[in-house]
Structure 1
Amino acid sequence: MISRRSIVCGAVLLPSLLVSAVPVRAVQTPEAVTGGDAPRPLSFPADSGPHDDAATEWWYYTGHLETEDGELYGFEYVIFRGNRGGVEGFVSHFAVTDNPLGAFAYAQQIVAADGARGSRFAMDLDVNGWTMRGEGGRDRLRAVMTDYAINLQLQPGKPVVPHDGDGYIDYGNGTFSWYYSRTRMPVEGILTVDGEDKLVFGEAWMDHQWGNFTTFEDGGWDWYAVQLDDGSEVMLYVIHDGAGMPLIVDGSLLDAESIQTVLEAEDFAIEATGEWTSPKTGTVWPSGWTISVPTAGLDLVVTPTMPDQELDTRYTTGIIYWEGQSLVEGTRDGQPITGRAYVELTGYAPVEAAGALGPSATPVAGP
């Protein structure tokens, strides 16, 4: 299994990093994931935080937030860490999907390592005032940009999902990574919209990956994180080459009891139902999808809450990507089912050297 983000990380993200060269602590019982070919089990809270021996690492959150009045918002918040030859740096992206206003906003930052890492918690990261703090899935997220801010508290929810069975991925070329997800994290807190604080609640999805992988191929990936209302989740991704031909197709199902089923390419089908052309970058993106998983009796329709959820992050990572909140409806074994999803698309726009500032890019957060 190759991570959806490992393709660009070595060749694009890390050079950009090197050029730029609180929740209440809770008593926790450490989690552990064992088995497979991993040289050690995943262990928490330690594996919530940075790993000094990793050349590449990220913490990636997406989530769905509701207000007491039923308004729906989405958020993406990620911190990337790179380390080459002892030189460390961080990149962060923060985005809000504002459905009530029909607006999408994002910002990005890039900083050297000084002051970015704390020690109060296993995960204690500060990228120029944007913070992720916590451990074992009990996390506090804070970020601010023009017109929007989040101050969110997350709980572990369902157990950790270790990718490749044990959380360890051997790429067979001398490189490796550790990778796990938390697929349904209860979240509550404050979303600030144009100066107004809104109490929100909802569910988030978190990925944490680290290792010495620096693989790179022309192309990109389509990634789907689906949370269904019956308590199950679906994660699917298609890694494709520069011509759009699939290279790796993989996925997994997690039922309401947290039992994981690994899916191979022949186990599911994804088809784009439309497309959207960005007026800012000219990129043509797929927009809307059908997902079929016959062995699970699933037939789903995934629809973005708005077409424009594009992030021009050439300033920090060299890429333009689409990461969008979506609504899900369909059937399981012929019975109606609904849910929510986040979809990530890369490889549809040319990769550029990090540091380029596109016309739609916002280089740093607002005050």
Structure 2
Amino acid sequence: MKTNKHKISLPADDAFLDNQLIQWWYWTGQLTTNNGKRYGIELCFFAVDAAALHIFELFAHKIYGEKIPSDLTTVQMLNAAVTDIDADKFYSKVTYIPGRPKNIENGFALHDILNNCSAIGGNGNDTLVITVDDFKFELQAEQIKQPVLHYSGEKHEYQFGGYTYYYSREMMAAVGTLSHKGVKQTVSGDLWFDRQYGELVQASMLVGWQWFAIQLEGNVQIMLFAYHWQSEHMGSITNAAGETIALGASDFHIEILDWWTSPNSGRRYPAKWHINTGDYDLVVTPLVADQELDEDWLLIKYWEGACKVEGNHQGSAYVELVGYPRKHWL
């Protein structure tokens, strides 16, 4: 069994942690070009230990009817996506990288084999390259608020099994360029960075979740993690001064207002939400219906995409939906 630290320490925990079964570095956000075109982007690097891969294998066929090779050791996976909001199009890619990430003190140097996608940085100052289809984003992202340490930065034991450490940089100012079909434009916008690590097989394979990263006018951020296990709902609200209030399961309500069925995978996903936290009464709507990552070699298909936020406050959001199989049980 892997040994575990007792509390998040930054920037040290931006680095690859070789004592954790599963970990990821995750950037999402919405960008605008100099001529007003709008895009959503996702860049995520996973590192999965061999022990976790064997646990995945035990569940894969039973739950998803799919198999993964039984001889894998530690492996990395890249998930990247671009949402062309104005064209109502979504593009994604999944790549596996053998072996572990480099050990970089207080940071990370993550990339696919051809360096088409990469993330280099740490401590809230990141250089990102995202190449998907004909799109290439080259971005500098810098945190403009201190990180939010969820669960007070401590190890959280899930009631359904496993555990997590989890923190976010909820407002990172991003600037850079977009190259598309021979044309280069400047882009800017706000990104959200999530870092999570622990024993996350049960959460990913058996339970699943709805995750909301909401950025509102007035420099307010709301994070909601609604597992398909009511007692594990949690979240936070961070005000303009950087003060964060933790939310428990009884502090917010999520109502699904609409559903969408993927023509590719046959999975049925929520497609519009009413969210209430008391002070914030919001409606979250996808900007493009089909933002599903469904590549054949991706074991866990999921929906993740750019959304708009309306209600008593306006803003933008990224939403991730995990745990929606072909035979929908929720």
Letter in 2 for 1:185: M
**Count of aligned residue pairs for this structure pair:** 301
Query: Are residues 1:205 and 2:192 paired?
Result: yes
Q: 1:99 aligns with which of 85, 92, 96?
A: 85
Counterpart selection for 1:306 from 283, 288, 291 = 288
Q: Are the structure 2 counterparts of residues 72 and 169 from structure 1 closer, same or farther at C-alpha, using a change threshold of 3 Å?
A: same
Q: Please name the residue that 2:21 is paired with.
A: 55
Residue 215 of structure 2 corresponds to which residue in structure 1? 227
Are the aligned partners of 2:264 and 2:294 in contact in 1 as well (CA < 8 Å)?
Answer: no
Report what 2:59 is aligned to.
none
Matched, 1:289 2:273: yes
CA change 1:174–1:285 in 2 (3 A) is closer
Question: Do 2:15 and 2:104's aligned partners in 1 also have CA atoms closer than 8 Å?
Answer: no
Q: Deviations over 1:42-99 (max 9, x none)?
A: 121x221111222211001101101122221100110000122694210001100101
1:327 paired residue number: 308
Q: Distance in 2 between matches of 1:42 and 1:282?
A: 42
Other structure's SS at 2:196 match: strand
Partner-residue secondary structure (3-state), 2:288? coil
Residue 228 of structure 1 aligns with an amino acid whose one-letter code is L
CA–CA distance in structure 1, aligned partners of residues 26 and 137 of structure 2: 15
Q: Please, which of 313, 316, 330 is the counterpart of residue 340 of structure 1?
A: 316
Tell me whether 1:262 sits opposite 2:218 in the alignment.
no
Shift of 1:286: 1.3
Shift in Å at residue 117 of structure 1? 2.5
Cα-to-partner distance string for 1:121-140 (whole Å, 9 max, x where unaligned): 72111221121100101001
- In the alignment, the residues of structure 1 paired with residue 201 and residue 300 of structure 2 have an alpha-carbon distance, to the nearest angstrom, of 16
Does 1:89 find its partner at 2:89? no
Partners of 1:87 and 1:315 in 2: CA distance: 17
Which amino acid is 2:21 matched to?
A: A
Match status 1:76 vs 2:46: no
* C-alpha deviation, 1:41, in angstroms: 5.0
Q: Does 1:127 align with 2:93?
A: no
Write the distance in 1 (CA, Å) between the matches of 2:20 and 2:45: 15
Name the CA shift for 1:264/1:174 in 2 (closer, same or farther; >3 Å). closer
Q: d(CA) in 1 for partners of 2:274 and 2:103? A: 43
Q: State the distance in 1 between where 2:8 and 2:102 align.
A: 24
Distance 1:91 1:229 in 2: 34
TM-score, scaled relative to structure 2: 0.84
The letter for the 1-side match of 2:220 is S
Instruction: Tell me the SS of whatever aligns to 1:218.
Output: helix
Range 228-237 or range 77-86, more displaced:
77-86
Q: Is the 8 A contact 1:118 1:125 kept in 2?
A: no
Partners of 2:94 and 2:276 lie apart in 1 by 35
Distance 1:302 1:311 in 2: 20
Give the Å deviation of 1:218: 2.9
Alpha-carbon offset, residue 298 of structure 1: 1.2
Secondary structure class of the residue paired with 1:101: coil
Q: Quote the Cα distance in structure 1 between the aligned partners of 2:200 and 2:324.
A: 23
Alpha carbons of structure 1 residues 272 and 135: separation in structure 2 relative to 1, 3 Å = same
Alpha-carbon distance between aligned partners in 2 of 1:100 and 1:174, rounded to the nearest angstrom: 42
* Residues 168-207 of structure 1: pairs in structure 2 closer than 5 A: 168-171=155-158, 176-207=163-194
Structure 2 matches for 1:152-163, cutoff 5 A? 152-163=139-150
Give 1:348 deviation, angstroms: 1.6
Unaligned 5+ runs, structure 1 = 1-37, 332-336, 352-367
| Counterpart contact for 1:117–1:126, Cα < 8 Å | no
Identity of counterpart residues, as a percentage?
A: 33
2: distance between equivalents of 1:176 and 1:266?
A: 21
Question: What residue number does 1:240 align with?
Answer: 228
Stretch of structure 1 that moved more, 265-274 or 100-109: 265-274
SS of 2:301's partner is strand
1:362 is aligned to none
Against the structure 1 CA distance between its residues 267 and 177, is the aligned structure 2 distance closer, same or farther, given a 3 Å change threshold? closer
Unaligned runs of 5+ in 2: 52-71
Q: Measure the CA separation in 2 of the matches of 1:40 and 1:102.
A: 42
Q: Give the Cα–Cα distance (whole angstroms) in 1 for the partners of residues 146 and 133 of structure 2.
A: 35
In 1, Cα distance between the equivalents of 2:290 and 2:201? Answer: 30
Confirm or deny: 8 A CA contact 1:319 1:350 kept in the other structure: no
Give the TM-score taking structure 1 as reference length.
0.76
Q: Does 1:42 align with 2:9?
A: yes
Displacement after TM superposition at 1:118 (Å): 6.6
Counterpart amino acid of residue 275 in structure 1: W
In the alignment, the residues of structure 1 paired with residue 223 and residue 158 of structure 2 have an alpha-carbon distance, to the nearest angstrom, of 20
1:304–1:41: structure 2 CA closer, same or farther, 3 Å change rule?
closer
Is the contact between residue 55 and residue 82 of structure 1 (CA under 8 Å) also seen in structure 2? yes
Deviation for aligned residue 1:266: 1.8
